[in-house]
Amino acid sequence: MVAGASPLAPDQGFALDPPKAGGLWKPGLFPGAGGEMTLADRPRVLALAVLTEVLRRRRPFDEALEAGLDPSGLEGRDRAFVRLLAATALRRLGQLDAVIAAMLDRPGSLRPEVQDLLRLGAAQALGLGTPGHAAVDTTVTLAAASTVTAPYKPLINAVMRRLCRDGPAMLAGQDAPRLNTPDWLWQSWQAAYGPERTRAIAEAHLGEAPLDLSLKLPAEAGRWAERLDARVLPTGGSLRRAAGGTIPELPGFGEGAWWVQDAAAALPATLLGPLAGRRVFDLAAAPGGKTAQLAAAGARVVAVDRAAGRLARLHANLARLGLSAETVTADIARWVPEEPADAVLLDAPCSATGTIRRHPDIPLLKGPDDVARLVVVQTRLLAHAVTLVRPGGVLVYTVCSLQPEEGEERLAALLGSGAPVEPLPIAAHEVGGLEELVTSAGTVRTLPCHLAGQGGLDGFFIGRVRRT
Ligand SMILES: C[S@@+](CC[C@H](N)C(=O)[O-])C[C@H]1O[C@@H](n2cnc3c(N)ncnc32)[C@H](O)[C@@H]1O
């Protein structure tokens, strides 16, 4: 056993910019940097900074990554490597921590900076298949470059060596889905979906999600599938690329032929009925994946969101696609339009636990309190959304959450509240004939383990009602 390190003062950590200052990279990133850092170490430095931002400052992964990469000067493969490395450490954190802890006498006393370095080293050696000597060398080099971690070089070296030797066998004996899933999520999914499904969901979270695209002209799916080296999914026309890729470089991006949208996220907008010429409110619309679908189908869309910055992204996305929609910056709960809509789509703010494959920080940053807080918001927004539909019109409520409190239970509460709505059940033929997506209540529940053989789906709830 390697002896655990004793904690030092907490203010001697890696000097990262405060979140509001933007970039994570700066020359003084490693105070007193000596050692033998080279430009080639930059991606690992950034991955470490991103990991630290997420785990210590509770900053969302995408935001930390953007703040780190944008001013970094890194390009192409290096950028992709930073993302992959930090994402792997987050996705496999439970497993990596268990292996690291098994190699220390007093794992609890490991100081945070050393722990994060070891996590990054372990993610390379055990998650990405980096050859052992390279994982050890680069981790020790990183350690040497900070006055905070340099004194722990011998410890880091010893743990990394042992980890490279014994780690793979330890990993093989681990219960990976369980170790990487926090208790509260595991228990909530067990209660909602049962033990087998829970395990399948958590298993799906161990991998990266594929790249799905929605087409401006769905009738041209065959042609675009060929050009993009993608397959047409049975869910209703989404294309899935096997290999991902750099988005702006893919065929059709510049000409606005498609946009990135998970196949499950593309379902809600298709459940509003015929759209051509109809007045449709897209509530909580930014950055506009569903707005684009509605506009492409010929609806007269009013897209409402309270975040001006995110609405600016919606504008940019629609402009690239050559589509248009009226936009309103407002809190939906207070927004009163001049006349109601034929159809309303409410894509409510939620815990986003259905998108863990794309956002591996979610299990680490969100908790049951967030769900409880969001339930209050969703209840309020849903009640107000009903008032925005004309009698006879349709309301679709959706969340990208696996938590039934945010989905199934919100729709049931609405139906039981005396609101002027009646259920409008969704049939399997409306979701590509995929019976497994439709519940006995006529709602849609997608899970990351659905279409498992084809790369899975994000977890969405979709419910539909008619205004009476
Ligand atoms: C799940 S995202 C929407 C994704 C979007 N529908 C799409 O398909 O691209 C949730 C959105 O809700 C917005 N939002 C949250 N609370 C809101 C409120 N009270 N009023 C208006 N927008 C709100 C957020 O700004 C965020 O853009």
218 has a pLDDT exceeding 60 = yes
Q: What is the pLDDT of residue 36?
A: 53
Angle between helices 76-91 and 112-122 (to 10 degrees): 110
- Mean pLDDT (whole number) for 334-346: 98
* Domain 251-467 bears CATH identifier 3.40.50.150: yes
Q: What is the pLDDT of residue 16?
A: 33
Q: What angle do CA 206, 207, 208 make, to 5 degrees?
A: 135
Q: 53: which 2 tokens?
A: 């931002």
Residue 294 CA to residue 443 CA, distance in Å, equals 20
Of ligand 1's listed atoms, the one at least distance from the Cα of 377 is 19
Q: Atom 12, ligand 1: which residue's CA is nearest? A: 284
Residue 437 CA to residue 450 CA, distance in Å, equals 8
Our mutation pick for probing the ligand 1 site, out of 347, 379, 398, counting the most ligand atoms within 8 A of Cβ, is: 347
Q: Is 258 exposed, middle or buried (0-12, 13-18, 19+ CB in 10 A)?
A: buried
Q: Using one digit for the tens of pLDDT, what is the confidence trace for 189-208?
A: 999 999 999 999 999 999 99
Q: What angle do CA 115, 120, 124 make, to 5 degrees?
A: 145
Our mutation pick for probing the ligand 1 site, out of 293, 301, 306, counting the most ligand atoms within 8 A of Cβ, is: 306
Q: What is the pLDDT of residue 236?
A: 82
325 has a pLDDT exceeding 60 = yes
Angle between helices 408-415 and 368-387 (to 10 degrees): 40
Closest by CA position to 96, among listed 174, 182, 210, 12: 174
Cβ–Cβ under 8 Å, residues 208 and 240: no
Q: Using one digit for the tens of pLDDT, what is the confidence trace for 346-370?
A: 999 999 999 999 999 999 999 999 9
Q: 66: which 2 tokens?
A: 């953007």
Instruction: Give the side-chain half-sphere CA count within 13 A for 334.
Output: 4
Q: What angle do CA 142, 143, 144 make, to 5 degrees?
A: 90
Whether 368 lines ligand 1, by a CB cut-off of 6 Å, is no
- Give the contacts of 206 (CB within 8 A, at least 6 positions apart): 91, 92, 176, 177, 180
Q: What is the pLDDT of residue 245?
A: 75
CATH superfamily, region 10-174:
NusB-like (1.10.940.10)
Q: Could you list the active site residues? A: 400
- Give the contacts of 174 (CB within 8 A, at least 6 positions apart): 95, 98, 99
**Amino acid type, 78:** D
**Amino acid type, 413:** A
Ligand 1 geometric centre to CA of 307 (Å)? 8
Identify the helix (H) or strand (E) that includes residue 120. helix 112-122
Our mutation pick for probing the ligand 1 site, out of 238, 305, 329, counting the most ligand atoms within 8 A of Cβ, is: 305
Q: What is the pLDDT of residue 13?
A: 32
Q: What is the pLDDT of residue 7?
A: 26
Cβ–Cβ under 8 Å, residues 457 and 263: yes
18 has a pLDDT exceeding 80 = no
pLDDT tier, 17 (very low <50, low <70, confident <90, very high otherwise): very low
% of residues, the chain, pLDDT over 70: 92
Ligand 1 geometric centre to CA of 430 (Å)? 25
Beta bridge partners of 2: 104
- Give the contacts of 450 (CB within 8 A, at least 6 positions apart): 264, 434, 436, 437, 456, 457
Q: Using one digit for the tens of pLDDT, what is the confidence trace for 77-119?
A: 899 999 999 999 999 999 999 999 999 999 888 999 999 999 9
Residue 8 CA to residue 148 CA, distance in Å, equals 9
1 has a pLDDT exceeding 50 = no
8 has a pLDDT exceeding 90 = no
**Domain regions of the chain by residue span:** 10-174, 251-467
Q: What is the pLDDT of residue 151?
A: 95
Whether 285 lines ligand 1, by a CB cut-off of 6 Å, is yes
Q: Atom 22, ligand 1: which residue's CA is nearest? A: 305
Q: Atom 6, ligand 1: which residue's CA is nearest? A: 285
Q: Using one digit for the tens of pLDDT, what is the confidence trace for 380-392?
A: 999 999 999 999 9
Residue 445 CA to residue 463 CA, distance in Å, equals 9
Per the prediction, the chain carries an average pLDDT of 91
Q: Is 101 exposed, middle or buried (0-12, 13-18, 19+ CB in 10 A)?
A: middle
Whether 290 lines ligand 1, by a CB cut-off of 6 Å, is yes
Closest by CA position to 382, among listed 424, 417, 355, 352: 417
11 has a pLDDT exceeding 80 = no
Whether 284 lines ligand 1, by a CB cut-off of 6 Å, is yes
Ligand 1 geometric centre to CA of 358 (Å)? 18
Q: Using one digit for the tens of pLDDT, what is the confidence trace for 51-80?
A: 999 999 999 999 999 998 888 888 888 999
Q: What angle do CA 221, 222, 224 make, to 5 degrees?
A: 65
244 has a pLDDT exceeding 90 = no
pLDDT tier, 132 (very low <50, low <70, confident <90, very high otherwise): very high
393 has a pLDDT exceeding 90 = yes
Ligand 1 geometric centre to CA of 139 (Å)? 40
Residue 211 CA to residue 228 CA, distance in Å, equals 11
